Structure 1
Amino acid sequence: MSDRTYAILGTGALGGFYGARLQKAGLDVHFLLKSDYEQVNKYGLVVESKDGDFTLPKVHAYNDVEKMPRCDVVVVALKTTQNHLLPKMLPSVVKDDGVVLVLQNGLGVEEEVAEIVGNVTVSGGLCFLCSNKVGLGHIHHLDYGQIVLSEYTPNYQPAGITEMMQQIANDFESAEISIELAEDLLLARWKKLVWNIPYNGLSVILNARTDELMAYSYTRQLVEQLMYEVAAGAKSYGRIISDRFIQTMLDYTVKMKPYRPSMKIDYDEHRPLEVEAIFGKPLQKAQAKGVNLVQISCLYHQLKFLDARGKEGGC
């Protein structure tokens, strides 16, 4: 059994699920919570899962990052809308020879973290997970769960498969979490956007679940067009996303249980939307290479309007 310690910053649908699975497997896990703190501190975490329900009656729960021990692996599972908090969080909780594992959506998030933690190893994880937080300390895992793990290097040069990546992958696999190791984090990030951009954006704008978007030829065609625009953005950085991968993402979503993507849930709950990380940064990166992603730009401006109106209390 690994003796690595884990900190989970953001114990929601994603961080709570993966952290709970790691603790269930016997690893030492420490959870940072906000609104759920009192509940989880007293009663632990409850996970309903397609792979089997379980409860952790006692967990290491904290409502202040300064009270957390320094850990070997710090998992950033906050929404990117909260990344302005990371400069105060990360230095106190990650060991000098530790790893920050960024389990967030979007592009360029590891760059931001690397600027905060200096020489600490930074890795990115792309989560293919259908999971919702349905109550205080209560997570409902609907489907999937795989993580694509890759190490960050300056300018996103491919890092290959490092020993540290393999060690972390072994910990997650001991918790029955499927892990794929990727040599090129930037390619992995663009590939995740193939799914995130159409389904997160259209679910908000059209008020639709994934199954509804795939049920009509008009919206399915729009999803596919957006996926090919993401591939064009990736190509501007020398990363090739195949037609086969796009078809796999379409097939994957058809087979998925009806699902509200994370941005749709945030919109319905009147929370800030991750528009910049998922849409703004890819647009900016592609434009820097002279590539205009017209349909993604259209989604971006609509979502910025809806996000701003939501902040003003108009929705």
Structure 2
Amino acid sequence: MGDRTYGILGTGALGGFYGAKLQKAGHNVHFLLKSDYPDVKQNGLIVESKDGDFILPQVQAYNEVGKMPRCDVVVVALKTTQNNLLPQMLPPVIKDDGVVLVLQNGLGIEAEIAQIVGNVKVIGGLCFLCSNKVGPGHIRHLDYGQITLGEYAANYHPTGITDKMREIAADFENAGISIEQLEDLLLGRWKKLVWNIPYNGLSVILNARTDELMADIHTRQLVENLMFEVALGAKSTGRLIPESFIQTMLDYTVKMIPYRTSMKIDFDECRPLEVEAIFGNPLRKAEAAGVNLPLIRCLYQQLKFLDGKRKR
């Protein structure tokens, strides 16, 4: 086992789950929290999981980045709607030779973070996880959990499998987390959007779980059409997504337990929606290449209305 220290920025359903698994496996993990800080400081973290429940009665919890030690790997598990805070949050907690591991949805995030941290390596992580936070420091893991890793280089040039990726992959695998390593992070990001764009968007607009979207012939067709449009967006940036992958995502969702997407949970709990990272950035990339994505733009405009209405 490596002796890397991990800092978790955003101890919610995702960051809390992966951070807890790392600590349970013996890794040195530091957790940043907001409203849950008093509960977690006193009682630790509770994880109910399909792979086995466990409790960490004591964790290294902080309510300010300035109180955290500098870490070898800083995991960004915040919602992208909070990324405006990262210029203040990241520099104090990342070692000069450290790694920022970005466990967020959307496109173009690593490029923004690379500008903040300079020469520090940035690795993108695509999480295939069904997990919810059901109480302060209390996480319920429903299904899946795999992370796909890819290292970022300028303009998303493919890097191949790097040594840093292998090191971090080994730590996560030691914690019982399945890892896939990518040679091309941008292709991986577009592939994740094949799922995220239709299901996150439609779950909010149609007030539906994943199983409801797949059970109706009309919404299932709409999901599939959106997936093909994401593939068209990927092609506009030089990345090809095979038709077989789209069928795999459809089959994967049919087998999934009924799931309320992360964007639907944010909407129901009156939190800001990750519209720009998941919808706006891909749209702008495709349009810059002269490619129109009308179905995705329709979702984007409706979500912007709903998000803005709540803010107003």
Give the TM-score taking structure 2 as reference length.
1.00
For 2:283, the equivalent position in structure 1 comes to 283
Deviations for 1:12-71, whole angstroms, at most 9, x for unmatched residues?
A: 000000000000000000000001000000000000000000000000000000000000
User: 1:1-315 alignment to 2 at 5 Å?
Assistant: 1-312=1-312
Question: Aligned-pair distance for 1:82?
Answer: 0.1
Matched to 2:246, the amino acid is: I
Deviations for 1:241-270, whole angstroms, at most 9, x for unmatched residues?
A: 011100000000000000011000000000
Paired residues of 1:270 and 1:311 also in contact (CA < 8 A)? no
Partner Cα distance (2:32, 2:4) in 1: 17
Partner Cα distance (1:265, 1:294) in 2: 26
Partner Cα distance (1:310, 1:185) in 2: 34
Partner Cα distance (2:41, 2:132) in 1: 20
Partner Cα distance (1:2, 1:138) in 2: 28
Q: Structure 2: where are the runs of 5+ without partners?
A: none
Matched to 1:260, the amino acid is: R
Matched to 1:226, the amino acid is: L
Question: Aligned-pair distance for 1:237?
Answer: 1.0
Partner Cα distance (2:159, 2:36) in 1: 37
Identity of aligned residues (%): 77
Q: The residue matched to 2:73 in structure 1 has which SS?
A: strand
Partner Cα distance (1:62, 1:259) in 2: 31
Partner Cα distance (1:311, 1:132) in 2: 24
Question: Aligned-pair distance for 1:2?
Answer: 1.5
Partner Cα distance (1:53, 1:238) in 2: 43
Partner Cα distance (2:188, 2:154) in 1: 16
Say which is worse superposed, 303-312 or 152-161, in terms of deviation: 303-312
Q: Structure 1: where are the runs of 5+ without partners?
A: none
Q: The residue matched to 2:126 in structure 1 has which SS?
A: strand
Partner Cα distance (1:311, 1:131) in 2: 26
Partner Cα distance (2:35, 2:178) in 1: 29
Aligned residue pair count = 312
Partner Cα distance (1:148, 1:276) in 2: 22
Partner Cα distance (2:244, 2:54) in 1: 37
Q: The residue matched to 1:260 in structure 2 has which SS?
A: coil
Deviations for 1:138-179, whole angstroms, at most 9, x for unmatched residues?
A: 000000000000000000000000011000000000000000
Deviations for 1:256-300, whole angstroms, at most 9, x for unmatched residues?
A: 000011000000000000000000000000000000100000000
Matched to 2:196, the amino acid is: N
Matched to 2:200, the amino acid is: N
Partner Cα distance (1:286, 1:260) in 2: 28
Structure 1 outlier segments of 4+, above 6 Å = none
Partner Cα distance (2:228, 2:47) in 1: 36
Q: The residue matched to 2:297 in structure 1 has which SS?
A: helix
Deviations for 1:99-153, whole angstroms, at most 9, x for unmatched residues?
A: 0000000000000100000000000000000000000000000000000000000
Partner Cα distance (1:270, 1:308) in 2: 11
Partner Cα distance (2:43, 2:7) in 1: 19
Partner Cα distance (2:308, 2:163) in 1: 44
